[in-house]
Amino acid sequence: MSDKLQTGQDEALSLRKVLGPIHIWGLGVGIVLVGEFMGWNFAVEKGGLYGALIACWVIGLLYTCIVMINSEVASAIPAAGGQYSQAKHTVGPLMAFNVGLYLTMAYTMLEAANANVLGYLLTTMSRLLGNEEELSAYPFAILAILLLALLNYRGVLMTLSVNFVITGFAFLTILALFVGMQGWNPGAATEFNELAASMDSGLPYGWLGVVAAFQFGMWFYLGIEGTAQAAEECRSPSRSIPLGSLAGIMTLIIAATITWYVCAALLPWQYLGTAITPLFDAAQLTGSGLLVWVLMLGTMAATLASANGCINDASRAWFAMARDRYLPEWFAAVHPTYRTPFRSILFLVPVAIAFAILPLLLDNPTLLATVITFSILSGLLTYMFMVVNMLRFRQLWPVGSIHRAYTLPIHPLPALVLAVLAAMVFFATFLGYGSTLWSILVFYLLASVWFVVRRYKYVDRDSQFTAPLPRPRGY
């Protein structure tokens, strides 16, 4: 207590407001960009080259709707926890608890997958450098998670400034590959006309294949909605969230289209559909040693940026739930020096490490796919909530009743498009991972039962309304 007096901090301890639009861009694009370097190409296996391109643009539309909805609601309810905080205002505690859990699980699982992939990349790099023995991925996966947790622990400004730089670098490496292969020049030494000219490579499994490809098309954009998590730490959320998020989705659609073109022009679709690091493999086929190294570093930078952003977002969701007593209040602690939710950051570190090394320990690579599917499905559940959220938000605060920094155009069309496309992706995921989908739904059902039985009594419903908005009549 004496230290409390010494520091003169009689006022409430809160998160520091230091972020601007570039940090929001770095957070949103940083979480996602790794999907351009790996993962999206499984859409080619499901739907062929053009099936993957259709998935890229259709899912791009899905995420454009998400970003626009996010820009309106998050700038009006700028609180840590993002969609969780929105849910407690627009729907109620049980929905909010579920959304908070979806977010925490989606980002923690993605962080684990990133650390696992980073270990794999280092092992590959050691082979490129002439190592004949198998380099163990464990220490590097664990070190990556711990160093990024340290960065997050010591302050959000440095964390997201680093994310901005490494994400920018990773994006530039994609452009470098496009320039290096002279992607704009039809006469350049690529095989695009031979590789992508026939419908055999374009839509080998017809339109059902295209729908099946949607699941992996999500890799191009999965996580951009995480920009809402940083709203409470923005100097001006109403400016930063729409600017950073909308610039982010534009960056991603450009990066996704270039990625598809570069890979389609260099790699046969049968190989592309199963490659682990398609952009890196494409760089190897250019014959340029410099591009190979640039893309190797770009892949690593994208992986680190994604894991870094995931730690930031998962910890904010966990912290926000604890601050509302949905979880034990112990997790709601803010570090007096760094102004970060330090206990939430630390608590999620062993969880991420466990899921990162489990596929290695059990020597079961398919477990990594399950971890990633857990993340994707948790994200999809959040998107379905965002449809309800947008409709309810406009019902509670119609246009004209509050000042909006960003107003979603042609409402409710974007919300309805989001609902239809998210349902199609659920169907596509059900085709490939039906049992995983059911087990995840059971997991969230059991968690909801736990919340209702054990935690609901601690939730003070009167104090749930914290947004800087007028209370709707009868709220």
Q: Which residues bind another protein (CB under 8 A)?
A: 1, 3-4, 9, 11-14, 17, 75-76, 78-79, 126, 131, 133, 135-136, 139-140, 142-143, 146-147, 149-150, 153, 232, 234-239, 322-325, 329-330, 332-337, 342-343, 346, 349, 402-405, 460, 463, 466, 468-471
- Do 160 and 230 contact (CB within 8 A), yes or no? yes
The CB density around residue 69, as the number of other CB atoms within 10 Å, is 26
At 176, phi and psi to the nearest 5? -60, -40
| Least distance CB 474 / another protein (angstroms) | 14
Closest to another protein by CB, 441 or 461: 461
| Least distance CB 68 / another protein (angstroms) | 16
| Least distance CB 119 / another protein (angstroms) | 10
What are 404's two structure tokens? 């909006």
Burial of 219 (0-12, 13-18, 19+ CB in 10 A): buried
Closest to another protein by CB, 206 or 470: 470
| Least distance CB 252 / another protein (angstroms) | 24
Residue in this structure with the two tokens 């080259």, named with its chain if needed:
49
| Least distance CB 464 / another protein (angstroms) | 8
Q: Where are the beta strands (DSSP E) in 395-444?
A: none
Q: Measure the CA–CA gap between 67 and 464, rounded to whole angstroms.
A: 25
| Least distance CB 352 / another protein (angstroms) | 13
**CA end-to-end span of the chain:** 39
Q: Measure the CA–CA gap between 20 and 1, rounded to whole angstroms.
A: 34
Q: Measure the CA–CA gap between 214 and 43, rounded to whole angstroms.
A: 7
| DSSP secondary structure letters along 202-256 | HSTTHHHHHHHHHHHHGGGTTTGGGGGGGGGGBSSHHHHHHHHHHHHHHHHHHHH
Q: Measure the CA–CA gap between 176 and 418, rounded to whole angstroms.
A: 33
Closest to another protein by CB, 366 or 463: 463
Closest to another protein by CB, 139 or 287: 139
What are 421's two structure tokens? 């496309």
Residue 19 pairs in a beta bridge with 234
Angstrom CA distances, 164 to 71, 113, 268, 350, 453, stand at 20, 21, 33, 26, 42
What are 125's two structure tokens? 């790099």
Q: Name the residue type at position 95.
A: M
Closest to another protein by CB, 3 or 363: 3
Closest to another protein by CB, 239 or 455: 239
Closest to another protein by CB, 11 or 363: 11
| Least distance CB 360 / another protein (angstroms) | 14
Q: Measure the CA–CA gap between 338 and 16, rounded to whole angstroms.
A: 8
Closest to another protein by CB, 203 or 408: 408
| Least distance CB 379 / another protein (angstroms) | 25
Closest to another protein by CB, 436 or 464: 464
Closest to another protein by CB, 417 or 469: 469
| Least distance CB 325 / another protein (angstroms) | 6
Element (H, E) at 355: helix 342-361
Closest to another protein by CB, 274 or 466: 466
Closest to another protein by CB, 215 or 240: 240
| DSSP secondary structure letters along 276-311 | SSHHHHHHHHTT-HHHHHHHHHHHHHHHHHHHHHHH
At 19, phi and psi to the nearest 5? -90, 150
Helix axes 413-450 and 206-217, enclosed angle (nearest 10): 60
| Least distance CB 165 / another protein (angstroms) | 21
| Least distance CB 327 / another protein (angstroms) | 11
- Do 50 and 203 contact (CB within 8 A), yes or no? yes
| Least distance CB 188 / another protein (angstroms) | 38
DSSP 3-state assignment of 329? helix
Question: Following CA atoms 197, 295, 23, 349 in sequence, which dihedral angle do they give, to the nearest 10 degrees?
Answer: 110
